[in-house]
């Protein structure tokens, strides 16, 4: 099995939305190929990651852990997690200077699902190097966020987790107006109510920094959690 620089867990979204996201950003991680890049320069920054919501942020594999073992552990984890029907559904909103699809408010079931994935796969994560920690700018984080960074390798987890599917890079006011004008008709009919999270995707980052789908697993735990 191919080894990658880093691994991550994504929610790829429903098929029709994922198809749109691949065409908008210009990279389809499921097929490992470039697409039309409808978003052009507006979408250049998130392009290499592919369209997704991050559930577990990119991490290096721990010493002694193999990609095959990670896939097996990921499959076992997903088999015990219940799918989520998140209400209200996703909306196009601004977050941290970019446009993304997110919940307002975020359902507790979504936060809980992400927390279970972070905890369940943490044994596969290599500790942060000093350089990796420094890149997270800990001096700009709250004390609570720094504690999360040091415990889980990422500050935006657990109570700090915010589900979002990024569609652009940082935008000026004029660029945001242009992006909204272009995105709103394209998204019409693609945002189901409620938003289903029924499967998760294990991703790998190649030497060029692009992410590829390694394995997709259905959430097969008992029941389906709403908000």
Query: What are the extents of the domains in the chain?
Result: 6-218
- For the stretch 161-201, pLDDT in tens is 999 999 999 999 999 999 999 999 999 999 999 999 999 99
- For the stretch 132-161, pLDDT in tens is 999 999 999 999 999 999 999 999 999 999
Residue 62 has pLDDT above 70, yes or no: yes
The per-residue pLDDT for 3 is: 84
- For the stretch 78-118, pLDDT in tens is 999 999 999 989 999 999 999 999 999 999 999 999 999 99
Q: According to CATH, what is the number of the domain 6-218?
A: 3.90.1140.10
**CB-CB contact of 27 with 92 (8 Å):** no
d(CA 205, CA 199): 20
Burial 87-120 (b: 16+ CB within 10 A, else e): eeebebeeeeebbbbbbeebbebbbebbbbbbeb
Q: What is the share, in percent, of the chain residues with pLDDT greater than 70?
A: 98
Residue 226 has pLDDT above 90, yes or no: no
Angle between helices 67-79 and 108-120 (to 10 degrees): 140
**Mean pLDDT over each residue of the chain, to the nearest integer:** 95
**CB-CB contact of 86 with 110 (8 Å):** yes
Element (H, E) at 183: helix 173-187
SS3 (DSSP) at 128: coil
Confidence of residue 223 (pLDDT cuts 50, 70, 90): low
d(CA 108, CA 72): 27
Cβ atoms < 10 Å from Cβ of 25: 29
């Amino acid at each position: 099995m191919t080894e990658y620089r880093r691994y991550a867990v994504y929610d790829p979204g429903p098929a029709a939305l994922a198809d749109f996201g691949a065409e908008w950003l210009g990279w389809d991680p499921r097929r490992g190929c470039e697409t039309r890049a409808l978003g052009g320069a507006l979408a250049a920054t998130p392009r290499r990651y592919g369209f997704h919501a991050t559930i577990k942020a990119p991490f290096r594999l721990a010493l002694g852990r193999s990609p095959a073992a990670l896939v097996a552990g990921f499959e076992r984890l997903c088999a015990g997690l219940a799918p989520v029907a998140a209400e209200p559904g996703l909306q196009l909103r601004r977050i941290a200077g970019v446009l993304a699809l997110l919940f307002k408010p975020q359902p507790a079931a979504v936060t809980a699902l992400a927390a279970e994935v972070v905890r369940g796969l943490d044994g596969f994560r290599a500790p942060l190097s000093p350089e990796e920690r420094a890149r997270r700018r800990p001096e700009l984080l709250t004390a609570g966020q720094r504690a999360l960074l040091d415990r889980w390798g990422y500050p935006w987890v657990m109570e700090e987790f915010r589900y979002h599917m990024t569609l652009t890079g940082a935008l000026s006011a004029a660029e945001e107006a242009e992006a909204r004008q272009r995105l709103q008709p394209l998204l019409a009919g693609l945002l189901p109510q409620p938003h289903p999270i029924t499967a998760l995707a294990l991703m790998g980052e190649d030497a060029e920094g692009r992410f590829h789908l390694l394995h997709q697993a259905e959430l097969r735990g008992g029941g389906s959690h709403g908000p």
